[in-house]
Amino acid sequence: MSDIPLFNLPLLHAPIIDEISENMQSVVSSGLFVGGPEIARFEQEFTKIARLPYAASVSSGTDALVAALVASGVQSGDFVVTVPMTFIATVEAIYHVGATPLFVDIDKNGVMDGEKLTELLKTTDKRIGAVIPVHLHGVMAEMRRITAICLASNIPVIEDAAQAHGAMREGVAPGELSLFATYSFYPGKNLGAFGDAGAVVSTSESGVEQIKALRNHGRYDKKYEHERIGYNMRMDAVQAAVLRVKIKYFPRWQREREEIANKYYDYFNESGIINHLPVKDVNIRSAWHLFTILHKRRDELQKALKKRGIQTGIHYPIPLHLQKACESLGYKEGDFPVAEQFAQQTLSIPFWPGMSDEHISTVAEAILQLL
Ligand SMILES: Cc1ncc(COP(=O)(O)O)c(C=O)c1O
């Protein structure tokens, strides 16, 4: 068998590439590359995936976070609480609005620990402008608990759902209990464009209208009338054309992700020797962005799998509080032990919708043999 990749975008796109090309071509023919009906249609359709009433498309998941922070009223000099186990874009957005990240550790599922957040908010004397839980690998943080804590302190919550299209926890979707949830449509995401793209969703129509103004140079309605200083953060119409086709297949792909995850679960649960995420919990419906295992000898396992032609990934090998880019925050090793252990043990294994049973068994059996 040839090498097994971590994920396989060409294979995913192959059956629908003509449909996508045709839709892209119709945008090209229309000449409406910025804004226009394709963007509006996509936003409407994405609300169904996000299970929230309002959506604004933007140029990336990073810009979605920046716009949501600005629309939440976060100001220069504020602190914004997030987790050290995320992609750096989460903290970049905080820096971009002139605020400073303040980290809180993760729990056993790799997402913000509600208890530690409570402790932090009780003891800090810093001005907290917002809290950003990150739904890592498709697993939502405990939003019922986190939003209740933040509501009591009047702190807006923005959910970084870049990896969590279609996720649910305790019956709620990202953004349902908070002010905003932000999504990325980076090509490798569960719903991916052919380049960079993102969205902000909310239950608040006026909140989403603010995002639409911010993304378009601070303009609410009339051309050349700017009510605030904004940004150029618009999603390209050709990306909407790609995403509108892929959205039709999204429910099937999500079902396939879940089925494949369950097959991996069966292999690993029977063996009893490997931890996988999330820990089985009926309240968590993962978006299955990645299938992740945790293992003490992760690096050895990764090398041995590579020798057998099995590609893996590490999301993420260095927690953000130990990144050079965040040095000025003054954190040190040992400050967030759960995130640090997670960084040492996490391994993402081959996983994509449509992955064959043969591939699944090859990967699972190789891991079990190598332990
Ligand atoms: C958790 C998280 N937040 C934010 C982003 C940023 O999204 P984008 O790459 O679309 O800017 C990503 C993308 O990788 C992400 O994984």
- Residue 340, domain member (yes or no): yes
Q: Using a 6 Å cutoff on CB, does residue 162 contact ligand 1?
A: yes
The closest residue, in CA terms, to atom 8 on ligand 1 is: 61
183 within ligand 1 shell (Cβ under 6 A): no
Indicate if 98 and 160 belong to the same structural domain: yes
Residue 2 lies in a domain: no
pLDDT for 276 equals 75
Do 282 and 231 share a domain, yes or no?
A: no
pLDDT confidence of residue 279 = 78
Short-list 338, 355, 348, CA closest to 255: 355
Q: List all residues 6 or more positions away from 110 whose beta carbon is below 8 Å from its beta carbon.
A: 85, 136, 137, 139, 277, 278, 292, 342, 346
Measured between alpha carbons, how far is 363 from 371 in angstroms, rounded to an integer? 13
Least confident of 119-123, 137-141, 183-187, 224-228: 224-228
* Whether residue 268 sits in one domain with residue 187: no
Q: Is residue 4 part of a domain?
A: no
Predicted confidence at residue 100, as pLDDT, reads: 98
pTM of full prediction above 0.95: yes
159 and 294 in a single domain? The answer is no
Q: Which atom of ligand 1 is nearest to the CA of 197?
A: 10
Cα separations (Å) of 59 from 88, 161, 243? 17, 15, 13
Q: What is the mean pLDDT of residues 115-136?
A: 97
The model's pLDDT over 153-206, given as tens digits with 9 standing for 90+, comes to 999 999 999 999 999 999 999 999 999 999 999 999 999 999 999 999 999 999
Q: For position 118, what pLDDT does the model report?
A: 97
CATH assignment of the domain containing 257: 3.90.1150.10
What's the structural domain count of the chain?
A: 2
Q: Are residues 111 and 201 in the same domain?
A: yes
Flag whether 222 is in a domain.
Answer: yes
Lowest mean pLDDT among 12-21, 126-135, 156-165, 262-271: 262-271
Rounded distance from Cα 186 to ligand 1 centre (Å): 7
Whether ligand 1 lies within 6 angstroms of the CB of 196 is answered as yes
Q: What is the pLDDT of residues 53-75, one digit of tens each?
A: 999 999 999 999 999 999 999 99
Per-residue confidence (pLDDT) for residue 169, from 0 to 100 = 97
CA of 332 to the centre of ligand 1 (A): 25
- Does residue 198 share a domain with residue 72? yes
Domain shared by 229 and 261, yes or no: no
Domain co-membership, 201 together with 280: no
More confident residue, 277 or 129: 129
In a domain, 211, yes or no: yes
Distance 156 CA to ligand 1 centre (A): 20
Q: Which domain holds residue 314?
A: 250-370
3 domain residue, yes or no? no
Q: Does the beta carbon of 84 lie inside 6 Å of ligand 1?
A: no
Q: How far apart are CA 185 and CA 6, in angstroms?
A: 18
Query: Last residue of a domain, which of 224, 244, 264?
Result: 244
Write the pLDDT tens digit of every residue in 96-115.
999 999 999 999 999 999 99
Question: 221 and 278 in one domain?
Answer: no
Residue 271's pLDDT band (boundaries 50, 70, 90)?
Answer: confident
User: 156 CB contacts (<8 Å, ≥6 apart)?
Assistant: 72, 73, 74, 129, 130, 131, 150, 178, 179
pLDDT at 275 over 80: no
What average pLDDT is seen over the chain?
Answer: 96
> Quick check: 44 and 169 in contact, CB under 8 A?
no
Residue with tokens 């993420």: 316
pLDDT 10s digits, 204-228: 999 999 999 999 999 988 889 999 9
In a domain, 290, yes or no: yes
Ligand 1 center to residue 166 CA distance, Å? 16
Residue 192 shares a structural domain with residue 282: no
What is the band of 91 on the pLDDT scale with cuts at 50, 70, 90? very high
Q: Give yes or no for residue 89 CB within 6 A of ligand 1.
A: yes
Domain end call among 198, 218, 244:
244
Q: Which atom of ligand 1 is nearest to the CA of 163?
A: 16
- Which of 214, 244, 274 lies at the terminal end of a domain, its last residue? 244
Q: Is residue 278 over pLDDT 80? A: no
294 and 183, same structural domain?
no
Domain harbouring 109, CATH code:
3.40.640.10
Smallest CA separation from ligand 1 atom 12, residue: 162
In a domain, 51, yes or no: yes
Query: How far does residue 233's CA lie from ligand 1's centre (Å)?
Result: 15
* pLDDT for 310 beyond 80: yes
Q: Are 69 and 156 in contact (CB under 8 A)?
A: no
Q: Quick one: 279 and 315 in the same domain? A: yes
**Ligand 1 within 6 A of 57 CB?**
no
pLDDT above 90 covers a percentage of the chain that reads 94
pLDDT tens, residue by residue, 336-369: 999 999 999 999 999 999 999 999 999 999 999 9
What's the CA-to-centroid distance between 39 and ligand 1, angstroms? 21
In sequence order, what are the residues at sequence separation of 6 or more whose Cβ sits closer than 8 angstroms to the Cβ of residue 9?
187, 188, 192, 352
Q: CA-to-CA distance for 7 and 353, rounded, in angstroms?
A: 9
